[in-house]
Amino acid sequence: MDELEKLKAELKRLNAEYAKIREVAPEKRGEFGRELNAKKNAILEAMRLAEESALDVEVEPIDITAPCGVNEELPTTYSAFQGSAHPLMTELDRVISIYQLMGFDVVESRQLDDEFHMFDSLNFAKEHPARDGYDTFRTEEGLIPPAHTSTMQHRVLKAYRDKLQNGEEIAVVVPGRVYRNEDVDATHEHTFYQCEGVYVSRDCTMGQMLGILREFFEKYYKQKLNIRTQPGYFPFTEPSLEFLIEKPKTLGGKKGDFLEMLGCGMIHPNVLKMAGIDPNEYHGFAWGGGIDRLVMLKYGLNDIRYLESGNLNFLKEF
């Protein structure tokens, strides 16, 4: 095994050690964490040096005018790093595939939106304090990088509402990048990904929604899961719920260790009405949750900031 591979393996072993912090007596945790961090930094530094020296070789320039085949004979000492898909994109594709298998259409969100789609179309009353929970950025023209993928609900409902007339249901998921004015720390990022779900039919129920969500999470984590809901508040759903899963044992969870994965609920009649759908005839449910959170749990990441850092040492682990 070359030096870099050895260091990577060491880093992986060390990363697993972090999970053990739970078993350490509370007063010793600080010291335990500091020791691990020091070891980790030493390994990361050694990796950086190993990478640099791997790159520090004389490379013959490639003759781009040469006929096919000649360029294949690169010096054997040449070491180039091959890029790979970002883990967030790989996982987002997995998420979308699961919903597609369940019959959902996919509509992409956008990275700039407006006040109407961000708030008004979602039944946020003017000046209502609930708007503060979605503090994001604004351009000088007053456009808004969306704070959630729910900004797409109104467009999806309008674009698909003819289906209802034909006796079909609306079933759409909306992946997208979202932005929040956050104090960034290990569990909060200003930029992350969400996936929204929107379902409307004549007679859908909350039970169906919970069934869909359970199915999704069990497919994603490839195992049976315990789920739980608790009351939530969103102006665009009534009633509103928070949806939790019990952290699987295989991912270091203990019994009773529930994690909130998304917000959901029955679509508020005002939201349907604003999109030209009669709430006396049709009902809907919707949900939205972070992709980063799914990925962090899957890979045991302890810091969300890795995901948007562009840190090559991190990305090469995938």
**Residues 164-223 close enough to bind ligand DAH by CB under 6 A:** 196
Among 11, 47, 261, 286, binds ligand DAH (CB under 6 A): 286
Q: Is 87 in the site for ligand DAH (CB under 6 A)?
A: no
The site for ligand DAH, by CB under 6 A, has a size of: 12
Using the contact rule CB under 6 A, the part of the chain among 55-63, 99-107, 232-240, 274-282 near ligand DAH is 232-240
Q: 215 with 102: CB under 8 angstroms?
A: yes
Find the part of the chain contacting ligand DAH (CB under 6 A) among 4-12, 93-101, 263-271, 307-315: 263-271
Q: Specify whether the CB–CB gap between 201 and 170 falls below 8 A.
A: yes
Computed on alpha carbons and rounded to an integer, the radius of gyration of the chain in Å comes to 24
Q: Does residue 145 interact with ligand DAH by CB under 6 A?
A: no
Query: Is position 148 an interface residue for ligand DAH (rule: CB under 6 A)?
Result: yes
Residues 153 and 236: their CA atoms lie apart, in Å, by 10
Residues 150, 196 contacting (CB under 8 angstroms):
yes
The gap between the terminal CA atoms of the chain, to the nearest Å, is 18
Nearer to ligand DAH, 3 or 105 (CB): 105
Which of 145, 271, 288, 294 is close enough to bind ligand DAH by CB under 6 A? 288
Q: Binding residue for ligand DAH (CB under 6 A) from 109, 121, 123, 150?
A: 150
The C-alpha angle with vertex 271 and arms to 145 and 288, in degrees rounded to 5, equals 50
99 binds ligand DAH (CB under 6 A): no
Q: In angstroms, what CA-CA distances link 184 with 288, 305, 306, 308?
A: 21, 8, 12, 12
Which residues make up the interface to ligand DAH (CB under 6 A)? 148, 150, 196, 234, 236-237, 263-265, 286-288
